[in-house]
Amino acid sequence: MIIEIIRADITSVNVDAIVNAANSQLQHGAGVAGAIAREGGPEIQRESDAIGHVPVGQAVVTRGGNLLARYVIHAVGPRMGEGDEDAKLRSATISSLERAEELKIDSLALPAISTGIFGYPVDRCARVMLTAVRDFEPRARSLKRIVFCLFGQPAYDTFQKAMQELSNGG
Question: What does the pLDDT look like over 38-86, one tens digit per residue?
Answer: 899 989 989 998 998 999 999 999 999 999 999 999 999 999 999 999 9
What confidence score (pLDDT) does residue 33 get? 82
Query: Which residues have CB under 8 Å from 23's CB, separation 6+?
Result: 29, 33, 76
Average pLDDT estimate for 16-39: 88
Name the average pLDDT for the chain. 94
Phi, psi of 74 (to 5 degrees): -95, 105
Q: What span, in angstroms and rounded, lies between the C-alpha atoms of 79 and 71?
A: 25
pLDDT at 103 over 90: yes
pLDDT at 34 over 90: no
Average pLDDT estimate for 84-113: 98
* Selected residue with higher pLDDT from 33 and 147: 147
Q: What span, in angstroms and rounded, lies between the C-alpha atoms of 17 and 61?
A: 9
What confidence score (pLDDT) does residue 170 get? 62
What confidence score (pLDDT) does residue 11 get? 94
Average pLDDT estimate for 100-108: 98
Q: What span, in angstroms and rounded, lies between the C-alpha atoms of 105 and 93?
A: 16
